[in-house]
């Protein structure tokens, strides 16, 4: 947001970058740093399944896909003990309505 709000020409660079990324994904452009897109996909998969973010599922999927298996092994046990990471996902009642949003906005 910093670049967008500071641009003297009022050009919304942040939004422009979003559009470029979206187009790149659509066209299947190969990226050097795959971890970021893997993270976003894993995050959205949790939302599609449960309606809300599910950190344990997100991290598990992200780690398996990127093979960064041992990142954050120091902070995760503490977060579990503090109740900050829930072992089970937070399911919303009307999960179908969220699945439908994903279906209706999916790229052809």
Partner 1 sequence: MKVGYFPGCSQTGTAREYDISLRKVVENLGASFDEVKDWSCCGATSAHVTNHKLASALAMRNVMLAEQQGLDDMVAPCAACYNRLVSSQYEMKKHPEVKQEVESVLETKFQKDLKVMNLIELFMKIGLEKITENRKEELKSLNVACYYGCLLVRPAEITKFDDAEQPTSMEKLVELTGAKTVDWNSKVECCGAAHSIARRDIVVELSKKIIDDAKRHGANVMVVACPMCHTNLDMRQTIMKRVFPEYKEFPVLYLTELLGLALGMDEKELGIDLHTVKFNYNELAAEKATV
Q: 3-22: which residues touch partner 1 (CB under 8 A)?
A: 4-6, 12, 17-19, 21-22
Q: Determine contact, residues 4/14, Cβ cutoff 8 Å.
A: yes
Q: Determine contact, residues 74/31, Cβ cutoff 8 Å.
A: no
Q: 67-96: which residues touch partner 1 (CB under 8 A)?
A: 71-72, 74-75, 78-79, 82-86, 90, 92-94
**Phi-psi region at 7: left, alpha or beta (left = phi > 0; alpha = psi -120 to 50):** beta
How far apart CA 13 and CA 3 sit, in angstroms, is 6
Taking CB under 8 A as the criterion, the residue among 44, 65, 67, 73 binding partner 1 is 44
Judged on CB neighbours under 10 Å (0-12, 13-18, 19+), 54 is buried
Closer Cβ to partner 1, 64 or 84, answer by number:
84
Which residues of the shown chain bind partner 1 in the complex (CB under 8 A)? 1-2, 4-6, 12, 17-19, 21-22, 25, 33, 35-41, 43-44, 47, 51-53, 55, 59, 62, 71-72, 74-75, 78-79, 82-86, 90, 92-94, 97-98, 101-102, 104-105, 107
């Amino acid at each position: 947001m910093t670049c967008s709000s500071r641009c003297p020409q009022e050009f919304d660079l942040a939004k422009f970058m979003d559009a470029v990324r979206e187009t790149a994904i659509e066209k299947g452009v190969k990226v050097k740093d795959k971890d970021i897109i893997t993270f976003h996909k894993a995050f959205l998969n949790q939302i599609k399944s449960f309606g809300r973010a599910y950190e344990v599922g997100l991290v598990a999927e992200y780690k398996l896909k990127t093979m960064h298996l041992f990142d954050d092994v120091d902070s995760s046990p503490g977060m579990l003990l503090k109740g900050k990471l829930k072992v089970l996902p937070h399911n919303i009642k009307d999960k179908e309505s969220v699945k439908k949003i994903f279906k209706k906005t999916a790229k052809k």
